[in-house]
Amino acid sequence: MRTHQFAAVAFEENLSLRDLAPLYPGAKVGVREIRFPTGNGGEVFIYPFGAMVFHDVDAARRETELRRLREARPGLTTQVVRESFTVREEPGAKVDIVDGTLVVDEFGPGRSAVVALIVAQSAALEQRLRGSQEALELVLDVARDRRMWLLEFAIVMLIVLELLLALLRRL
């Protein structure tokens, strides 16, 4: 039995694989991803929609790779979404999810790529949803401010009307 850990980091910005490819000599560069081994049995995936996934990569190496990416792309946001996912390889097991862990009978490079893509998409979607939520909250704040202005204006108009009625009653 072997356990595989996936850790995804999603940025607000998209990533140009063509621009990043020279930073990763020996990496497999495709249309949808850059993929390279870390040398200790782990691997890294970089996706154009702004996500980086680490498969069986320790925390120190993850930070090193993130630093390398940030140096290559100086404008990357520091506010990121991080997600993790676990896959347990058990020979003879049926594919299942047990306590949030995917259980598979075999886990090779093809399945690794699929899991990495799904975790990357999940983190990137969460990042986009956060951005949309922040934008919506800003719009709602502006709408509230406008409604407050209208409410204040209505109150002032009612006060003016009361004053005019009071003046008319005295005449």
What DSSP string runs through 111-169? HHHHHHHHHHHHHHHHHHHHHHHHHHHHHHHHHHHHHHHHHHHHHHHHHHHHHHHHHHH
The pTM for the full model equals 0.77
70-121: per-residue pLDDT in tens? 999 988 988 899 999 999 999 999 999 999 999 999 999 999 999 999 999 9
19-39: per-residue pLDDT in tens? 999 999 989 999 899 999 998
